[in-house]
Amino acid sequence: MSEGREGDAGRAAAAAPAGVRTATLRADDGARLAYDDAGAGRAVVLVHGFPQSRRYWHPQLAALPAGVRALAPDLRGFGDSEPRAPLSLDRHADDLVALLDHVGVARAVVCGLSMGGYVALALWRRHPARVRALVLADTRAGADDAAGRARRDALVALARREGSAAVADTQLAGSLGRTTREREPARVAAFRALLSAAPVEGIVGALLAMRDRPDATATLPTIAVPTLVLVGAEDVLTPVDEARRLAAGIVGARLAVIDGAGHASSWERPAAFTAELAAFVLALPPSPDDG
């Protein structure tokens, strides 16, 4: 890729693991979208949170088990995907369908973390036939309350005034668990670099989209595919009790807690997260969707 819009911090975090293919596609409105593609087998779409990019999933792409193909897009407005409006959650869901069409996958396991979970739920609501199974990580179904919407507006103003590094600084304490923050300065620094690389346009678009997102609670009982709910034991933004409520709303959903991790559970404890994800994906019944 030569069209990145990221600063030095982004480039420092940018080296893709061996064997990862980076490619682009055009969405149905012509917007250019970037994605990483690794491995072969059952397709899993990895949907990043706020304000991240496909690079958030590098630890998973670096250690994919045999039989799994990972597709990790940059949501439009992030990484190397064009920030063409609208930057709504529904638009992101439609972009995932464009990605599946582009790679010739009819149905995929969709794994979304936090904001990525909001997108996964929007995808289920809009295009359930494209979802083979769901992994909802460190996320929630409910909408923002009045205080939450006010915090989004304050963060929009901060992003416009001071840029993405200032936004990254406000996100760090909530995003990473206590164990990571106290014991792993290198992991904290790499995470901060990832967040600081987000373009302001993408940050603002995502904040407004999350502020205005509908309550997805009524969608939960409609979910009719195998579902795994994952959460970091030290997640303070979507705590274990929230994950428990999410799992309880979905028939047959299983909850797994990742020890020693906060809200960015897959980044903080990649081996434990990937093991849960892989076990879930490889245990799905055989289907024509198997790659």
Contacts of 27 (CB under 8 A, 6+ apart): 33, 76, 84, 94, 95, 98
Contacts of 154 (CB under 8 A, 6+ apart): none
Q: What sign results for the dihedral spanned by CA atoms 17, 21, 26, 32?
A: positive
Closest CB 94 distance from ligand MLT, rounded Å: 19
Q: Which is nearer to ligand MLT, 191 or 280 (CB)?
A: 191
Q: Which is nearer to ligand MLT, 68 or 195 (CB)?
A: 195
260: region left, alpha or beta (phi > 0 left; psi from -120 to 50 alpha): left
Enumerate residues 137-196 that contact ligand MLT by CB under 6 A: none
For residues 11 and 9, what is the distance between their CA atoms, to the nearest angstrom? 5
For residues 251 and 225, what is the distance between their CA atoms, to the nearest angstrom? 9
Q: Nearest to ligand MLT by Cβ — which residue?
A: 49
Q: Which is nearer to ligand MLT, 148 or 252 (CB)?
A: 148
Q: Which of 20, 34, 45, 49 binds ligand MLT (CB under 6 A)?
A: 49
Alpha-carbon separation of residue 94 from 28, 100, 194 (angstroms): 9, 10, 25
For residues 162 and 200, what is the distance between their CA atoms, to the nearest angstrom? 9
End-to-end Cα spacing for the chain: 26
Q: Which of 114, 164, 180, 274 binds ligand MLT (CB under 6 A)?
A: 114
Q: Which is nearer to ligand MLT, 102 or 187 (CB)?
A: 187
Q: Which of 42, 44, 50, 111 binds ligand MLT (CB under 6 A)?
A: 50
The answer to whether residue 96 forms part of the interface with ligand MLT (CB under 6 A) is no
Q: Which is nearer to ligand MLT, 42 or 263 (CB)?
A: 263
Q: Which is nearer to ligand MLT, 75 or 281 (CB)?
A: 75
Contacts of 89 (CB under 8 A, 6+ apart): 115, 118, 119, 122, 209, 210, 213
Tell me the angle at which helices 200-211 and 89-103 cross, rounded to the nearest 10 degrees. Answer: 110
Site string for ligand MLT, 195-224 (x = CB under 6 A): ---------------x--------------
The answer to whether residue 237 forms part of the interface with ligand MLT (CB under 6 A) is yes
Q: How many CB atoms lie within 10 A of CB 9?
A: 19
Q: Which is nearer to ligand MLT, 108 or 115 (CB)?
A: 115
Q: Which of 20, 87, 115, 156 binds ligand MLT (CB under 6 A)?
A: 115
The answer to whether residue 232 forms part of the interface with ligand MLT (CB under 6 A) is no
Closest CB 114 distance from ligand MLT, rounded Å: 3
For residues 122 and 177, what is the distance between their CA atoms, to the nearest angstrom? 27
Closest CB 282 distance from ligand MLT, rounded Å: 27
Q: Which is nearer to ligand MLT, 13 or 105 (CB)?
A: 13
- Provide the 3-class DSSP secondary structure of residue 266: helix
Binding site for ligand MLT (CB under 6 A): 49-50, 114-115, 210, 237, 263
